[in-house]
Structure 1
Amino acid sequence: MLRWHSFTDGAHLEHAALNMIQDAAQTALTQRGAFHIVLAGGRTPQRVYGALKDLTTDWSAWHIYFGDERCLPPDNTERNSLMAADAWLDHLAIPPAHVHVIPAELGGEAAARAYSQTLAGVDAFDLVLLGLGEDGHTASLFPGQDWGETQTAPAALAVSNAPKPPPHRVSLSAQRLSNARQVVFLITGTAKIPAVTAWQKGDPLPAAAIKPAAGVDVLVDFAV
């Protein structure tokens, strides 16, 4: 089930995303005492993360994961983990042990194995944030590649031939991203309209492989 939320501009979309994160966190902390969130990369999430610094919550009960990562050194500015740290995580009292960075500097295969082990004891994520590429990719799951949709797929996949640089990456599999209480896509820019249209038509895109039981909320800053 896809629930489409259309906004007049990116600022309104980001405000709605912030509210969704806040609500999901409050529900998880009240019901389960911890909040497990998967972060997306990109400029739109970066602005949302920056706004999260002002949120009043029990940061010690947050657990941070990443939907994908580029196989680059930890201090490379293209790393999703560094972006999230600079925009948000380094400014708050989240225990370092609760920030589960993908060790992509080890190389795709080794990092995917290590992250699958990290996630082995984690139940359903409370919230997964994702973006959408112009080709319909999400996280680092690209068209024409293995998305890890089966129940036996590993939690994390090594990607060795991504069509956009760098080619070597690690991505959570579609089945692991789908194991979530809530999934929210943040999509900005009219260049994404063809991919959204293809998704709406039912084309076999990587984004369409994310199928949590509760359905998916898709936030866009254009009419759908």
Structure 2
Amino acid sequence: MGGPGMATSEAITELKLPADVNAHALADANTLATTLANDVAERLRAAVAAKGEACVVLSGGRSPVPFLEKLSGQSLDWAKVTVSLADERWVPVEHADSNAGLLARHLLKGPAAKARFVGLYQQAESLDAAALKADQALAALPVIDVLVLGMGDDGHTASLFPASPELKAGLDLASSRRCLPMLAPGVPHQRLSMTRALLASAAFIALSVQGQGKLATLRAALGGNDLTEMPIRAFLHDPLDIYWCP
């Protein structure tokens, strides 16, 4: 009989993933955080070596915290790395729910504090105006070498939520917008999100998910084609590396 590792591996490979999607089945959350941090750092080092700079776009929330801590401890020429966020809640950095604040606490410390941070939050009279200011700020973002996405149980990724008024524009690959205002149904804070057009430009895209529930969400996403129903579908047929643990 196979051990726990075998069962884990079978769980993800049973999804019948598209040809361009690689699955990394990890034993537990700590192993996932370590493996993903090592892989991201390796790609950032290669980018710095090749062109003198690197850019990584990360996702917020609670589950990425161990990964952010591991990445913070990686040996990198951090002064040559630009860090940004796939999405942000429209709250000041000091707010407990700020993704920028999350990165400040768990990533941008010690040697990693030398990295340049390009955030999405902007003070403005409205969410639409804040999104326009964020769009302009993102014009200075270098080519994205690494993007790390998460996924909600409803199939959203970044802040591309099902039923958000701007979702179709956010999913438009031909859009010239880098950032759009987004509304999360049933969630108190309004959001700012990078568009699919910008996110999909990343040279390497990783999707980090944990638990059987997220596996079921992936299975449902792979079983349909309506991007507005489950926005993660927009990324499941492009080159993608999925990092999953039970």
How does the TM-score come out when normalised to structure 1? 0.89
- The AA in structure 2 aligned to 1:187 is V
- Corresponding residue for 2:14? none
SS in 2 for 1:44: coil
- Corresponding residue for 1:210? 235
* Residue 126 of structure 2 corresponds to residue 101 of structure 1: no
User: Which residue, out of 87, 100, 117, partners 1:81?
Assistant: 100
- Corresponding residue for 2:199? 177
Per-residue CA deviation, residues 12-45 of structure 1 (Å, 9 max, x unaligned), is 2112101111111111011111110001112232
- Corresponding residue for 1:8? 27
- The AA in structure 1 aligned to 2:146 is L
Distance 1:141 1:216, change over 3 A: same
- The AA in structure 2 aligned to 1:158 is P
User: Which residue, out of 146, 152, 156, partners 2:179?
Assistant: 156
RCO higher in structure (CA 8 A, sep ≥6): 1
Please say if residues 180 and 193 of structure 2, whose CA atoms lie closer than 8 Å, have aligned partners that are also in contact. Answer: yes
Number of aligned residues: 219
SS in 2 for 1:43: coil
Which piece of structure 1 moves more, 174-183 or 122-131? 122-131
Per-residue CA deviation, residues 64-121 of structure 1 (Å, 9 max, x unaligned), is 111101111220111111011011203335447x211112443421221122112224
Gapped regions of structure 2 (runs ≥ 5): 1-19
* Residue 213 of structure 2 corresponds to residue 191 of structure 1: yes
Q: Whose radius of gyration is greater, 1 or 2?
A: 2
What is the Cα deviation at residue 163 of structure 1? 1.2
Which piece of structure 1 moves more, 189-198 or 29-38? 189-198
* Residue 152 of structure 2 corresponds to residue 133 of structure 1: yes
Per-residue CA deviation, residues 127-155 of structure 1 (Å, 9 max, x unaligned), is 01110100000010011331332312411
- The AA in structure 2 aligned to 1:176 is L
SS in 1 for 2:63: helix
Per-residue CA deviation, residues 151-208 of structure 1 (Å, 9 max, x unaligned), is 124110101x311422411000111100110010110122212211112224432112
Distance 1:35 1:212, change over 3 A: farther
How does the TM-score come out when normalised to structure 2? 0.82
- The AA in structure 2 aligned to 1:101 is G
Give the distance between the partners of 1:138 and 1:37, measured in 2 at CA.
Answer: 16
Gapped regions of structure 1 (runs ≥ 5): none
User: Which residue, out of 106, 118, 124, partners 2:143?
Assistant: 124
Give the distance between the partners of 1:212 and 1:110, measured in 2 at CA.
Answer: 33
4+ runs of 1 displaced by more than 4 Å? none
- The AA in structure 2 aligned to 1:16 is T
Sequence identity of aligned pairs in percent? 26
- The AA in structure 1 aligned to 2:231 is P
Which piece of structure 1 moves more, 23-32 or 6-15? 6-15
User: Which residue, out of 46, 59, 72, partners 2:65?
Assistant: 46
SS in 2 for 1:3: strand
Give the distance between the partners of 2:214 and 2:129, measured in 1 at CA.
Answer: 33
